[in-house]
């Protein structure tokens, strides 16, 4: 008897023609690719819809947050009104006033002791706890010399004779180190109070180490170089100072305003911590929303570059219309050693032939816009350059740290200087912070300085 294997009717298949295995596989792969493309398209639409909804909710939250700030005056900051901004000497003066046991804060050694307790242990050796006393002396801009050689000025010097320790604080906000600056200060400390415990605290926004040439240990040097950051160490210390000043409302509230300024310097923060948490919670609430956020984050550089091009075009148009008698535009190739980014804008002063560069300078992860003047191929002599530099520094607060390539430079005020999202938001809203006029006024300072030299008979044109 023969047994028949019956195929269920639902599975019966009678092909009308014979297909090769290769053709079947190719068709299957194509169907799979089509389905994958369809799925990706649907997911992208979902992500875009979720992202659009997220951005709308964030916009509403920001508007509510700004209304809250306006209601309670939370954006008011006396330090910003007084122009403290990023200027190192002003911040050094504020730190010194808080560290001084005889300071007007009236808390004696409390602030200083709290600061000493936050100094990190030496990378080479351990550290005993330093004790503050009412005799601790705090000074700023102290000239140092060794064997009649001028070694510069230390930002802050703290001496405690009773407890035999000495600390130099080298405060760096945005400026770079001078040549062998830390090494020079170590040489000086090595000759002073040799029985003291001595430290150099290298204080920067993010706590990075001094340059390689500055960080090499000197032979038999007993001066330790330690790193501290504004972002973590100083903010933590200032918060502790607020707690210590709880019964002194004037001191306490002044410290809170200073903390807000430091946060803007280190993080560019303009939102409350509560609002930050709410935005993070919204952005990560489900797969579709977070996928859209990730895609947006991947396009961050392209978005910023597009906005930067718009800023540069607008700036060139504005300056071309108002300053064409004083400035000519310089074209820089990508191989130019000073052209690190397409965001740079170069002008040449018609009279003096000096080059002016307008650019965002990257200090670790923070960028701040400056106007800087370089000699390059200018044929001016050193005395003429020095007179221009002195005029800009003394009359308008420009800066110079001994860099031979630069005449001097000036960072724009914080209100219009941060090269970040807030900067571009203001541009999209019509340049609410008046970056164009601020840059124009800064360039006019150069014009005025050079014109005054020509009037005095100190001709700088070539």
Q: What is the pLDDT of residues 97-150, one digit of tens each?
A: 999 999 999 999 999 999 999 988 654 445 677 899 999 999 999 988 776 677
Nearest-angstrom CA–CA distance, 204 and 75: 25
Question: Rounded to an integer, what distance in angstroms lies between the CA atom of residue 33 and that of residue 39?
Answer: 10
- pLDDT tens per residue, range 229-276: 999 999 999 999 999 999 999 999 999 999 988 988 887 655 677 788
Hey, how many other C-beta atoms are within 10 angstroms of the C-beta on 31? 10
Q: What is the mean pLDDT of the chain?
A: 77
Residue-wise pLDDT tens digits, 342-390: 446 778 888 788 888 887 776 444 567 888 888 877 767 888 888 999 9
The answer on pLDDT for 47 being more than 70 is no
Mean pLDDT is highest, among 24-28, 123-127, 128-132, 418-422, for 128-132
The CA distance from 298 to 296, in Å, is: 5
Which of residues 211 and 356 earns the better pLDDT score? 356
Residue 54: how many CB atoms within 10 A of its CB?
20
Tell me the two tokens of residue 155: 């930002």
Q: Which residues pair with 203 in a beta bridge?
A: 171, 228
Question: CA-CA distances (angstroms) from residue 343 to 131, 153, 318, 369?
Answer: 49, 35, 16, 11
Range of lowest pLDDT (11-20, 213-222, 371-380, 450-459): 11-20
Question: For residue 341, what pLDDT is reported?
Answer: 45
pLDDT at 335 over 50: no
The whole-number pLDDT of residue 5 equals 33
What is the per-residue pLDDT for 93? Answer: 95
Burial of 63 (0-12, 13-18, 19+ CB in 10 A): exposed
% of the chain at pLDDT higher than 90: 23
Structure confidence by residue, pLDDT tens digits, 286-326: 888 888 888 888 887 777 777 777 777 777 787 776 666 78
On the 0-12 / 13-18 / 19+ scale of CB atoms within 10 A, 411 is buried
Residue 190: pLDDT above 50? yes
Give the residue with greater pLDDT, 96 vs 28: 96
pLDDT of the residue at 46 = 56
What pLDDT, on the 0 to 100 scale, is given for residue 436? 80
pLDDT number for residue 28: 59
pLDDT of residue 84: 82
Q: What is the pLDDT of residue 417?
A: 61
Question: With contact defined as beta carbons under 8 Å apart, do 369 and 419 qualify?
Answer: yes
- pLDDT winner (highest mean) among 37-41, 139-143, 334-338: 139-143
Name 365's Cβ contacts closer than 8 Å, sequence gap at least 6: 206
Q: Are 210 and 228 in contact (CB under 8 A)?
A: no
3-state secondary structure string, the chain?
Answer: CCCCCCCCHHHCCCCCCCCCHHHHHHHHHHHHHHHHHHHHHHHHHHHHHHHHHHHHHHHHHHHHHHHHHHHHCCCCCHHHHCCCCCCHHHHHHHHHHHHCCCCCCCCCCHHHHHHHHCCCCCCCCCCCCCCCCCCCEEEEEEEEEECCEEEEEEEEEEEECCCCEEEEEEECCCCCCCCCHHHHHHHHHHCCCCCCEEEEEEEECCCCCCCHHHHCCCCCCCCEEEEEEHHHHHHHHHHHHHHHCCCCHHHHHHHHHHHHHHHHHHHCCCCCHHHHHHHHHHHCCCHHHHHHHHHHHHCHHHHHHHHHHHHHHHHHHHHHHHCCCCEEECCCCCCCCCCCCCCCEEEEECCCCCEEEEEEEEECCEEEEEEEEECCCCCCCHHHHHHHHHHHHHHHCCECCCCCCEEEEEECCHHHCECCHHHHHHHHCCCCCCHHHHHHHHHHHHHHHHHHHHHCCCCCCC
Scan for tokens 């600390």, then name that residue: 167
Identify the weakest region by mean pLDDT among 11-25, 43-57, 88-102, 358-372.
Answer: 11-25
Looking at 10-19, 162-171, 223-232, which range is the least confident one? 10-19
Q: Which one is predicted more confidently, 94 or 174?
A: 94
What per-residue confidence (pLDDT) applies to 278? Answer: 87
pLDDT attached to residue 200 = 92
Residue with tokens 């430079």: 409
Q: Using CA atoms, how far apart are residues 135 and 243, in angstroms rounded to an integer?
A: 24
* Distance separating the N- and C-terminal Cα atoms of the chain: 117
- pLDDT > 60? residue 15: no
CB 437 within 8 A of CB 313: no
Is the pLDDT at 96 greater than 90, yes or no? yes
More confident residue, 101 or 425: 101
0.95 cut: is pTM over it? no
Q: Identify which has the larger pLDDT, 104 or 330.
A: 104
pLDDT at 108: 96
How many angstroms separate the CA atoms of 274 and 293, rounded? 20
- Whether residue 453 has pLDDT greater than 90: no
Nearest to 158 by CA among 189, 122, 121: 189
CA–CA separation, 355 vs 350, rounded Å?
10
The residue ranking higher by pLDDT, 5 or 367, is 367
Q: Can you tell me the distance from the alpha carbon of 371 to that of 347, in angstroms, rounded to the nearest whole number?
A: 11
Characterize the bridge pairing of strands 366-374 and 345-349.
unpaired
Q: What is the mean pLDDT of residues 202-223?
A: 71
Please state, as a whole number, how many other Cβ atoms lie within 10 Å of the Cβ of residue 37.
10
| Contact by Cβ (8 Å): 241, 114 | yes
């Amino acid at each position: 008897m023969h047994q028949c294997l019956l195929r269920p009717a639902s599975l019966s298949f009678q092909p009308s023609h014979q297909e090769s295995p290769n053709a079947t596989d190719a068709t299957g792969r194509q169907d799979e690719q089509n389905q994958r493309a369809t799925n990706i398209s649907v997911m992208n639409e979902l992500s875009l819809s979720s992202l659009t909804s997220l951005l709308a909710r964030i916009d509403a939250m920001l508007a509510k947050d700004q209304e809250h700030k306006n209601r309670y005056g939370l954006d008011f900051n006396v330090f910003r009104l007084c122009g403290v901004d990023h200027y190192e000497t002003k911040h050094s003066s504020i730190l010194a006033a808080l560290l001084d046991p005889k300071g007007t804060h009236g808390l004696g050694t409390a602030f200083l002791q709290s600061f000493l307790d936050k100094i990190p242990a030496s990378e080479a050796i351990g550290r005993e706890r330093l004790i503050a006393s009412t005799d601790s002396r705090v000074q700023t801009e102290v000239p140092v010399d060794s064997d009649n050689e001028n070694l510069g000025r230390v930002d802050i010097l703290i001496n405690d004779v009773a407890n035999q320790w000495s600390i130099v604080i080298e405060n760096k906000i945005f400026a770079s180190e001078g040549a062998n600056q830390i090494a020079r200060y170590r040489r000086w400390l090595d000759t002073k109070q040799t029985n003291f415990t001595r430290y150099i605290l290298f204080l920067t926004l993010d706590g990075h180490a001094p340059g390689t040439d500055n960080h090499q240990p000197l032979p038999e040097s007993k001066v330790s170089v330690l790193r501290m950051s504004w972002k973590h160490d100083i903010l933590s210390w200032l918060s502790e100072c607020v707690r210590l000043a709880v019964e002194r409302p004037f001191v306490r509230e002044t410290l809170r305003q200073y903390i807000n300024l430091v946060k803007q310097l280190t993080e560019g923060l303009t939102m409350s911590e509560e609002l930050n948490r709410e935005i993070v919670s919204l952005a990560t609430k489900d797969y579709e929303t977070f996928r859209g956020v990730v895609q947006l984050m991947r396009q961050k550089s392209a978005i910023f570059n597009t906005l930067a091009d718009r800023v540069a075009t607008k700036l060139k148009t504005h300056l071309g219309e108002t300053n064409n008698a004083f400035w000519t535009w310089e074209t820089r190739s990508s191989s130019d050693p000073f052209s690190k980014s397409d965001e740079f804008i170069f002008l040449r002063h018609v009279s003096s032939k000096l080059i002016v560069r307008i650019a965002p300078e990257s200090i670790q992860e923070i960028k701040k816009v400056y106007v800087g003047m370089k000699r390059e191929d200018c044929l001016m002599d050193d005395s003429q350059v020095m007179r221009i530099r002195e005029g800009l520094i003394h009359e308008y607060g420009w800066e110079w740290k001994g860099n031979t390539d630069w005449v001097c430079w000036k960072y724009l005020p914080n209100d219009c200087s941060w090269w970040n999202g807030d900067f571009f938001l203001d541009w999209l809203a019509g340049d609410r912070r008046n970056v164009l006029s601020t840059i124009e006024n800064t360039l006019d300072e150069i014009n005025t300085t050079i014109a005054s030299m020509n009037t005095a008979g100190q001709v700088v044109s070539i």
